[in-house]
Amino acid sequence: KFNELLKPIQIGSMQLRNRIVMPAMVTNYAAADGAVTDRFKSYHQVRAKGGVGLIIIEATYVHPSGKGFKNQVGIYKDELVAGLRELTEAVHEYGARIAVQLYHAGRQTTSKVTGMSVVAPSPIPCPVKHETPKELSIDEIKELVEAFGQAARRAKEAGFDAIEIHGAHGYLINQFLSPYSNKRTDEYGGTFENRMRFPLEVVKRVREEVGADFPIIYRISAEEYVTGGLTIEDTKVFARKLVEAGINALHVSGGVYESSAMIIQPAAISQGCFVENAAAIKKAINGKVPVIAVGRIKDPVMAEQVIQEGKADLVSMGRALLADPELPKKVSEGRIQEIRKCIGCNQGCVDRLFQDLDISCISNALTGHETEFDVGSPANKMKKVLVIGGGPGGLEAARVAALRGHEVILYEREDELGGQMQIAAVPPHKEEINDLADFLINQVEKSGAIIVKGKEADLKTIQEIKPDVVIVATGAEPVIPEIPGIVQENVITAHDVLRDSANVGKKVVVIGGGMVGCETAEFLADRGKEVTVVDILDEVAADVGAPTRGLLLNRMAEKKIKILTKSKVKEISGDRVIIEGENGITEISGIDTVVIAVGSKPKDDLLKLIEAEGIPLYSIGDCVKPRRFMDAIHEGFRKAYSL
């Protein structure tokens, strides 16, 4: 029962059909000048159709100097209003409400993105973006307050139901408030009173433009999680000021770019990480306006509980809605088991965004491609499809092919479906990968596909089945490097470790410091092993997205995992490992186990055989080239759709 989550609520004059909010997440789908594109519109419309109560569109820059991402949506000029109006109409068609998040990046951008000087309260570079900003003059501050006001006017003209002022995550408004980024000595800096001036002037100016009845939400970082930054005690005081200033709801987030793991929240950050802060703010303001909780709330059971316990009035479920736009609908129809859960991997969304790419989702190939495919519609010609390999790519291919009406037969040589997902879910903080595996397996099992497990498909199988097309998704296998002594009893692969199919002694050397090597090292350290990771590169975990990597490296240091970079294992001899590093040759003795984690190579023997027979085939995922799950899943989706 989700009575609280599904109950309507009022934010100022705005009535919402339920308590589920889609918070602002930059997509990089807009045009270069910030205009709404069809893609941007469809992405939001599909989520409105999925039943969400309120959509807050991505951080929308109010002034060209405040742009933070290449294809971010803007509201800095009147010409952008028409496109924004089309967007609000598209969302209203499906009964959701829509707010725009007004923002200026301040120092958390670069002049390469803005095409002009980066500006901030003080000339202190953002530790992530590194560019020294120009200190804003009083006149320039007034100009930016006005830019927020004009943006608010445009928002109302465009048909938005509310405005959210982005006062969080270390952007300009937050920069003024925080002693960490504001070192001014004039009326905009120094005392708390002075640091609150810019945010409160923005609120006042926005209110003047939109009128007394128009809902204004304010987003805060309750804690900045940096030395010298704002704490919950500061934000409690500020929250009371905001309520006095007439805002209609508070959205309680956390972090700035330097503590970006708290903004981005990889799977190692606990689910519901800011709920207690939301509760503290709600208490501080005596519940005078609704409070929205955010932060890895992906599970509707948790969302319901947050509201039931009175910790917040609404919940933001951002990445949860990237993964499954129909989450609210499935909740209201009691189809919880069918929800495609976000797994907190950041692979498809935030990691891509911070490479200035458009976002998607590891498990949902439709995210950002909403109008390109109609998965529910039958294919033009029904085919007999044999999928070989029940890992992420094969499962997705089987799921989509079955949805399109094809006759699907799935072969998996292991006794269980899931492939590499089973291994990947084993290291610390990776268990949510099981949610992805469970979703795909359940969907394929329900689809009517014939599933054959524990049997290897070969040419004979294909000749017997006589498929119209074969999809080969046989995956990859570990690379064994050519090192003298590599073939001996105490040398195993990371897969052996994670599958629990080999004994591991006390003292371990892991060869390879990529994601798999580091995660396996942590897994072993948690079991009391003394682990050394050896890698040829000058840094480890280079293939891991920045926030996830930062947390992983911290944990490795805490767990006393020794890391040798720019080093190469030259020889293994019994319990001795000979390593060549920058300072010459060293030897580690008394080693019980050597673990190989230097990457994978395609398992493509069958692929070559089928090719030679001239049978129509598609190959997907790691058997083409070992890559990430997202590549396998999205390839499986596209190939199966195109049959």
Catalytic residues: 171
Which residue stretch of 124-132, 346-354, 385-393, 544-552 sits at the interface with ligand SF4 (rule: CB under 6 A)? 346-354
Backbone angles phi, psi at 59, to 5 degrees: -45, 120
**How many residues interact with ligand SF4 (rule CB under 6 A)?**
14
* Chain centroid, CA 102 distance in Å: 22
Among 170, 199, 325, 344, binds ligand SF4 (CB under 6 A): 344
Q: Which of 93/356 has CB closer to ligand SF4? A: 356
DSSP string covering 350-404:
HHHHTTT-----SS-TTTT-TTT--TTSPPSS--EEEEE--SHHHHHHHHHHHHT
Tokens 């998704």, located at residue:
473
Provide the mask over 295-324, with x wherever binding to ligand SF4 is found by CB under 6 A and - wherever it is not: ------------------------x--xx-
> Is residue 347 at the binding interface for ligand SF4, with CB under 6 A as the rule?
yes
> Is residue 361 at the binding interface for ligand SF4, with CB under 6 A as the rule?
yes
Q: Are the CB atoms for 511 and 481 separated by under 8 Å?
A: yes
Helix or strand holding residue 410 (H, E): strand 407-412
Among 88, 109, 346, 619, binds ligand SF4 (CB under 6 A): 346
Backbone angles phi, psi at 401, to 5 degrees: -60, -40
> Is residue 28 at the binding interface for ligand SF4, with CB under 6 A as the rule?
no
Q: Which of 260/461 has CB closer to ligand SF4? A: 260
DSSP string covering 257-315:
GGGHHHHH--TTSPTTTTHHHHHHHHHHTTT-S-EEE-SS---HHHHHHHHHTTS-SEE
Give the number of other Cβ atoms within 10 Å of residue 472's Cβ: 28
> Is residue 476 at the binding interface for ligand SF4, with CB under 6 A as the rule?
no
Backbone angles phi, psi at 504, to 5 degrees: -120, 130
Q: Which of 187/356 has CB closer to ligand SF4? A: 356
Minimum CB–partner distance for residue 342 and ligand SF4 (Å):
3
Minimum CB–partner distance for residue 551 and ligand SF4 (Å):
14
> Is residue 342 at the binding interface for ligand SF4, with CB under 6 A as the rule?
yes
> Is residue 433 at the binding interface for ligand SF4, with CB under 6 A as the rule?
no
Give the strand pairing for 407-412 and 450-453: parallel
Which residue stretch of 357-365, 369-377, 383-391, 615-623 sits at the interface with ligand SF4 (rule: CB under 6 A)? 357-365
Which residue stretch of 249-257, 302-310, 361-369, 574-582 sits at the interface with ligand SF4 (rule: CB under 6 A)? 361-369
Q: Which of 253/363 has CB closer to ligand SF4? A: 363
Distance (Å, whole) CA 451 – CA 324: 25
Q: Which DSSP symbol is given to 133?
A: P
Minimum CB–partner distance for residue 370 and ligand SF4 (Å):
15
> Is residue 640 at the binding interface for ligand SF4, with CB under 6 A as the rule?
no
Q: Which DSSP symbol is given to 74?
A: B
- Residue 498 tokens read as 């994670």
Among 345, 457, 563, 594, binds ligand SF4 (CB under 6 A): 345
Q: Which of 69/411 has CB closer to ligand SF4? A: 69
Which amino acid is it at 434? N
Backbone angles phi, psi at 291, to 5 degrees: -115, 135
Q: Which of 346/474 has CB closer to ligand SF4? A: 346
Which residue stretch of 253-261, 329-337, 356-364, 593-601 sits at the interface with ligand SF4 (rule: CB under 6 A)? 356-364
Minimum CB–partner distance for residue 345 and ligand SF4 (Å):
4
Residues near ligand SF4 (CB under 6 A): 319, 322-323, 342-349, 361-363
